[in-house]
Structure 1
Amino acid sequence: MASAHIFHPAPQPAYQATPGSILHPDKVFYRKLTSTADTPGSRHLLDSFTIPIRSGRAWTASAGSIVRLSTPEGPQVGDLNIWNLSNPRERFWAARTRQLHQSHVSTFDRLWSCLPFLRPMVTIIADSLADYGVDRWGGRCHDLLGTRCDPYVNKMLTGDDYDFHCHSNLTRAVLPWGLNEFDVHDVINVFQVTGLNGDGKYFMEPSPAKPGDFIEFFAEQPLLMALSTCPGGDLSAWGWGEGGAGKGNEKKSMLDCCRPLKVEVWSLTDEKVLEGWKEPETPRYRGMHGMGVPLGEKAGNQSSEQ
């Protein structure tokens, strides 16, 4: 007698928002912002620069501006950090963003800040690689599963010192802004395809970006941003070490796979486009985490008499 197959529905996402929640962006509003890219004169270029290979740079973006990252010469992975410009203790929180949205982000997803701030830092409004979808290995683009490469893991695995991993590139990039290595945090890996294999192991695939591919962010608050051009380039010859050939690919070095990334910061020429938008607020939690904190001498005397 054949055993009956019992259907078990897939688990529901752990983080689901109620109607009207800030997790549900106003798509009509953000599509309006996206459309300004195709309307001559609707955007004003504030800043534009190219980050060389195996380097990093930081810049500012005012609330209400648009930041575009692109691959002018073809595939190249970038590691992005974000801070609030006035208070760098508020910074991008990759893990919570991954839980609130998904492991790889695209148009209409948001990058969230850490506790106790917990509010959108940017909203993705355009992504030329949005159609990449899920490949045959389960890989997706714009990675939140992994983090930045760093010289400490490199030293542990190879015994070599190498100074231009993304962690180091970001560290050098933020020094002029009064920040240091302790301010560098988990990143979003733009233009990077990753996933988990059948054993739950993290894997990386070559970047699918072509010349001119881009991702655009709307700055929801005043920001300091920093981007590293990963020393692994497009990751088609990735291997730990100082830039030699990737494992199983002796004819191609990681250096051969490296290309620059371009950054553009735009303001909107018509302020009416932003009507109805305001900088997101933090959740209004006013508790004290269960701690009784004396408010002063009088409060202390009152508590001792009870």
Structure 2
Amino acid sequence: MKNITLYIFLVFAFFNNAYGQEILFDFSNDMQGWTAYDLDGNGNTIMQGKQWYVDVNDLKGKETSEGVLRYNIANFDGIYVPGYDKEDNWVISPPINISKLGSALDLELVWETTDPRTNRAFVVFFASSSPDVETFRNLTTKQSIGNVQRATTNSSFPDFQSKTITIQKTKLPASDVIYLGIKRSSMPAEHSTNINIKEINMVPNGGGEISLSTTEVKASKNITKLAQNPVSTALLLKLNPAMAAAKTTMQVYSVTGQQVLNTKYSREISVAQLAPGMYFARVSDGTLTETVKFIKK
């Protein structure tokens, strides 16, 4: 029994403290733990979906089989969506532990605009010690940690470009755990266009290490619990009453830190597809974040 207890402790410690030389978010199949917010409430939001672009030969919108992070609205037949430049939408990362980061962080974005006739689209990065979307919303452009712009137009689409920005640690929040927020911007308004983000790669620059974090923002009472543990086919969650159920999402991670499930909250969530073993479920409504451990039989 002591050996089993020691093993569980070591695995939990590994999950909370394991660091790597980089963190790669590949949006081929899912949101990779990022959370999207539609703050103007008009149904337009950032999502994971198929790559969309304008074919310059016939100016028709087309899709490929490539999975990307993009808006759920598109520029049909090469016509810009009215008011698109005024969309108030964010996508916020899972928690990232930078306590062992050296002097700087490289952010590499593999992306493209969806219309080859314009080079006016920007992807702007922000950072906060809180996952609260209102905190990000109150940040000004001058408080951003960097941005990338499509440098040239190109008639041979789709053509993903890799852009890297180096962020000094002094520009990041003075916190062991941070969250990144992305807001799409464009200038001028008539050049508003969609974007396709294939990958975001984070690499320490100047030494040190980074990791995905399971740091919890705990409520004083009534934290999220499991109705039963171990589980066989489904997680039965008793959500913290302080959380907004309609805004709550859940990500499940293996003991090695790999995300294996990303879904909206419900009282019963299927985990039948998971292999037997230990997992960590991160539950968040954007303000409160809690992590529960469970065993899949």
TM-score range normalised by the length of the shorter chain: under 0.3
Higher helix share: 1
- TM, length-normalised to structure 1: 0.26
- TM, length-normalised to structure 2: 0.27
Structure ID, larger Rg: 1
Bigger relative CO (Cα 8 Å, ≥ 6 apart)? 1
Higher strand share: 2
